[in-house]
A = this chain, B = another copy of it.
């Protein structure tokens, strides 16, 4: 009954909603796949054509064949501030494993922490079974800021997961805490033996890179490299190429400034600390990130697409080093929270404000 009501709320796209939009690489149309979503956060594609969408408030939807059904069996989610049900990963072996990975804020004594849970999707796609928390950040915070969190399955089969610093700046430099880091995990949540800090006394062995602020985009390119975007301080949102064991500098160096206008830490660069590949000033509040295969538009090949929460557009990044070459804007690109290339080669994205899932298709 609950699923039935939900199905009524979510409206599936009708052909007439498709709009033509000119972009610098040619026209695209933006088609609505579903609306009626409340605070949608992440998209996952199932191999049978189904699509999963998370809502921060703690709901997971299974959209297929003109129908949206709610998925039960979620982990316990702490919905507070920027925290809630966050990213989703459908691993490459889903057809065999049926595993679905979810990041979320997990209730902790006195607050909440970013966590990773995994469960198996039932054959009818409406229930996760055996759901359990397999990674949980070192005590998070009572605050509601900077949870991260995005997931990527590396070419090496490991899971990469971004964790925000929870507003606790020094913790981003503290290897004994997960705050402000990108983790690399085995499929069962344990730390691989070749992670960079496994032999470092007191360090959390899951840490792959650190010194991040609030990474809300994570993507793998065609060469298998891992990239992240993160919310920096004012005027310092970054794109980073993630290297094993590297320190991305927060809060020692940053291109942004405190909201008061005062300088952060020691400036913009320091030996031993990584430079971003690019930064946005003013900040765009980036969320989601995907590299395109070029399948439906050759000019998009190896381009990165990033959503802007603040300025309501999709950023297209190209070149080496990556730089923003285009801002794709339409009535649909309001607070773009997640962006992915679908199995169809279209750019799928979520508008948080419009509560809708769209596909952007080259014409």
Residue ranges of A at the interface with B (Cβ–Cβ < 8 Å): 155, 194-196, 198-200, 222-225, 241, 243-247, 255, 268-279, 302, 320-323
Contact = CB atoms under 8 A, between A and B. Distances in A.
Nearest to A245: B225
B274 A274 contact: yes
A321 B247 contact: yes
A275 B277 contact: no
Contacts of A320: 200, 247
A199 B270 CA distance: 32
Contact of A270 (B198, B225, B275): B275
B247 A246 contact: no
A225 B199 contact: no
A194 B245 contact: no
Given A223-B196, A241-B243, A275 B276 contact: no
Contacts of A302: 199
A275 B278 contact: no
A236 to B, nearest CB: 10
Contacts of A268: 269
A25 to B, nearest CB: 17
Given A196-B225, A272-B321, 12 more contacts: A199-B222, A200-B320, A243-B243, A243-B244, A268-B269, A269-B269, A269-B275, A271-B278, A272-B275, A272-B323, A273-B275, A275-B275
Contacts of A270: 275
A224 B275 contact: no
A255 B275 contact: no
26 contacts: A194-B223, A194-B224, A196-B223, A199-B222, A199-B223, A199-B302, A200-B320, A223-B244, A223-B245, A225-B244, A268-B269, A269-B275, A270-B275, A271-B277, A271-B278, A271-B279, A272-B275, A272-B276, A272-B277, A272-B278, A272-B321, A272-B322, A272-B323, A273-B275, A273-B321, A274-B275
A200 B277 CA distance: 18
A255 B277 contact: no
Contact of A271 (B155, B200, B276): B276
A207 to B, nearest CB: 12
Nearest to A242: B243
Given A225-B244, A243-B243, A275 B279 contact: no
Contacts of A195: 223
A40 to B, nearest CB: 31
